[in-house]
């Protein structure tokens, strides 16, 4: 079996917030993107709570072993909200992950991070400001890294999706079923050169 699309990352890749299937998994943007691109062999290693370190340690080798022509990488949000956030480790892990995949000659796509701090309830004003600065720095890094490596990056910072509360689950961190549909459509447009 040849994998046509391999996705790695955190709960965003896993599809959390999407429609819950009978087996307890989620129908997020990954299977919907596969349908839009007419891809039948898909593997998704996305896991709840995964950090960039988890991707490097637990997902990357398996992803590389399948030698897929298309890889999706959506990870970093858990790093960015962590109390022990280390920007150098974060950047190094992202660079290592994306470089390892692009060196295979595969097409790789990813995202940057929307205003999660603005959506999470209960944060103090000071914490919210500090997290927004952290997210802005991370987005600047990701945008430059993606351009350097030729990785397609869906810009979630200033999209209608990000601003529409209906596109987000009640936790403010994961897309709703409607949000996953939009993300699948946006990724398809990006991969097909329509945006």
pTM (global) more than 0.85: yes
Q: What angle do CA 69, 183, 181 make, to 5 degrees?
A: 110
Cα distances (Å, whole numbers) of residue 8 to 74, 123, 139, 165, 179: 7, 29, 19, 26, 19
Cα distances (Å, whole numbers) of residue 188 to 35, 38, 66: 10, 11, 22
pLDDT (tens digit, 0 to 9) for every residue of the chain, 195 residues total?
689 999 999 999 999 998 888 988 899 999 999 999 999 999 999 999 999 999 999 999 999 999 999 999 999 999 999 999 999 999 999 999 999 999 999 999 999 998 888 777 788 888 989 999 999 999 999 999 999 999 999 999 878 778 888 898 888 789 999 999 999 999 999 999 865
Amino acid 57: pLDDT: 98
Amino acid 114: pLDDT: 87
Q: Give the whole-angstrom CA distance, residue 143 versus residue 151.
A: 9
Which distant-in-sequence residues (6+ apart) come within 8 Å of 175 by Cβ? 12, 17, 18, 28, 29, 161, 167, 168, 169, 182, 183
Tell the residue number behind the tokens 């994306």, with chain if given: 98
CB atoms within 10 A of CB 195: 12
Q: Which CATH number is 5-191 given? A: 3.40.50.1110
Nearest in space to 156 (alpha carbons), one of 100, 77, 102: 77
Radius of gyration of the chain (CA): 16
């Amino acid at each position: 079996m040849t994998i046509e699309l391999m996705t790695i990352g955190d709960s965003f890749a896993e599809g959390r917030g999407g429609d819950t299937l009978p087996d307890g998994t989620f129908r997020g943007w990954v299977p919907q993107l596969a349908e839009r691109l007419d891809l039948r062999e898909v593997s998704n290693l996305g896991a709840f709570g995964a950090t960039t370190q988890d991707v490097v340690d637990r997902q990357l080798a398996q992803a590389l072993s399948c030698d897929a022509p298309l890889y999706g990488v959506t990870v970093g949000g858990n790093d960015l909200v962590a109390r022990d956030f280390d920007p150098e480790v974060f950047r190094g892990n992202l660079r290592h992950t994306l470089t390892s995949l692009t060196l295979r000659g595969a097409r790789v796509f990813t995202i940057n991070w929307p205003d999660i701090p603005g959506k999470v309830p209960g944060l103090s004003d000071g914490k919210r400001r500090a997290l927004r600065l952290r997210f802005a720095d991370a987005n600047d890094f990701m945008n430059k890294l993606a351009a350097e490596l030729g990785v397609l990056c869906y810009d979630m910072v200033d999209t209608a999706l990000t601003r529409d509360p209906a596109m987000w689950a009640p936790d403010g961190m994961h897309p709703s079923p409607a949000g996953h549909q939009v993300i699948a459509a946006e990724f398809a447009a990006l991969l097909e050169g329509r945006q």
